[in-house]
Amino acid sequence: MDVQPNNQQIQLIKVEKAYGKHNVLSNCNVNIKRGEFVVIVGRSGSGKSTLLNLIGGLDKPTLGEINILGYSLHTLNEEKLSNLRRKYFGFVFQFFNLIPTLTALENIRLPMSLNGISKKDSINGAKLLLKELRLSGLENHFPDELSGGEQQRVAIARALSHRPEIILADEPTGNLDLETANEVLDLLNTTCRRRGTTLIMATHSKEVMGLADQIFSIRDSEIKKAST
């Protein structure tokens, strides 16, 4: 599965999502270019996470079409969706979601390993990321031996480790103190910018908005582009 060159890396066309009778997203149109930093804002329960799940192929729209890297998601089966996520996506969650039985180094290595990168290369790559994210010395710590900030930095390292095209971050700072949150945001932003990785972040943080290329606001199930 190879990326087809397309300036519009992510396209949502008239996408709707409903859970039963409850409409979460309606008539949603979004275009995101390669390397952009996109922020999605909205109240709790407004549908930010749902939008990220739809883009990441973790959930399916009720109506409409989603094109990612030239692929129409509705044409892909489960296996191909898994393949797409494995190669081109990185995820950062509010509650970190590290694998509790793997060490920090192993958690970072996991996406590389899943993409067939050799053990030696994945260890070297993971160590570089640990250093870059100021986590050196914590290689062999398990998630429950790390602080919240450290866990989230490991999660970011894991999301970046296989050099994905897109990073989806669902309120990555929601569970961190202000100082650590700023630190994590800065890390995500600078690393993605440097690597040309598209970063889509759902957040409540106003500080983030200043860094974004595009801001989408969700209200009453409708998505609107806000000025940056």
Partner 1 sequence: MNTLLCVAATRFYLKRPWQLCLAIFGIALGVAVYVGVDLANDSARRAFNVTASLINGSTTHQLVGTANDIPNSLYRDLHLKYGVRFAAPVIEDGVRLASNTRRELTVLGIDPLKETEFRGFSSFIPGSETNLPQLISEPGTALLPESLMSELGLERDDELGLLVGNIEKKIRVIGTVRDISLTAEGATAPIIMDIATAQELFNRTTISRIDLILNDSEAEDLTSLDLPNVLLTDANDRNASFDELARAFQTNLTALSLLALLVGVFLIYATMSFAVVQRRKTFGVLRALGVDRNQLLLVTLSEALIIGAIATLLGVLLGHQLANSLVELVLQTTGDFYFRSNVAPATPSILLYIKGFILGVATTLAAAAAPALDAAHTMPQTAISRAKLERSTRKIADRAALISVPISLAALVLLGFSTKSLYLGFIGLFLVIAASTLLIPTATRVFAKLVEPALERSFGISGSLAARGISASLSRTGVATAALTVAVATVIGIGLMVSSFRISVDEWLSGTLTADIYLSTESENVFSNSRIEELNAIQGVIGTSITRFIRVPTEQGELTIRAQRAGPLGWGLSLIEEFPDAIERMESNEGILVSEPLAFRQGLEPGDKLPLPTKQGKEEFTILGSFKDYNTNGGTILMSLSLYRTYWNDEDINGVGVYLDTNSDRENTISEIRTFLEETPSVRYRSTDFIQEQSLSIFDQTFKITEVLRVLAGLVAFLGLFSALMSIEIEKTREVATLRAMGLDPRQIGILTLSQTSLLGLASGLFAIPLGIIMAILLIYVINVRSFGWSMSLVLSSQPLLFGVLLALTASILAGIYPTVRAIKFNVAPQLRDE
Which residue from 30, 68, 71, 106 is in contact with partner 1, where contact means CB under 8 A?
106
Q: Which residues contact 5 (CB under 8 A, 6 or more apart)?
A: 70
Give the footprint of partner 1 on residues 29-68 (CB under 8 A). Answer: 53, 56, 58-59
Nearest to partner 1 of 28, 211 (CB atom)? 28
Nearest to partner 1 of 162, 211 (CB atom)? 162
Which residue from 4, 44, 75, 101 is in contact with partner 1, where contact means CB under 8 A?
101
Give the footprint of partner 1 on residues 115-144 (CB under 8 A). Answer: 115, 119, 144
Query: From residue 134, how far is each of 61, 73, 129, 147, 154 by CA, in Å?
Result: 39, 36, 8, 13, 10
Cα-only R_g, the chain: 17
Which residue from 95, 131, 140, 210 is in contact with partner 1, where contact means CB under 8 A?
95
What is the residue whose two structure tokens read 């932003």? 189
Q: What is the dihedral of CA 20, 219, 228, 13, to 10 degrees?
A: 40
- By CB under 8 A, tell whether 174 contacts partner 1: no
Nearest to partner 1 of 42, 111 (CB atom)? 111
Confirm if 218 and 47 have CB atoms less than 8 A apart. yes
Number of residues near partner 1 (by CB under 8 A)? 35
Specify the stretch interacting with partner 1 by CB under 8 A; choose among 4-12, 102-110, 132-140, 206-214: 102-110
Half-sphere exposure of 62 (CA within 13 A, CB side): 14
Cα–Cα distance measured from residue 200 to residue 37, given in angstroms and rounded to the nearest whole number: 6
Q: Please give the structure tokens belonging to residue 102.
A: 């793997």
Q: Which residues pair with residue 16 across a beta bridge?
A: 63
- By CB under 8 A, tell whether 97 contacts partner 1: yes
In the complex, least distance from residue 226 CB atom to partner 1, rounded to whole angstroms: 26
- Which stretches of the chain bind partner 1, using CB under 8 A? 53, 56, 58-59, 78-79, 82-87, 89, 91, 93, 95-102, 106, 109-111, 113-115, 119, 144, 148, 158, 175
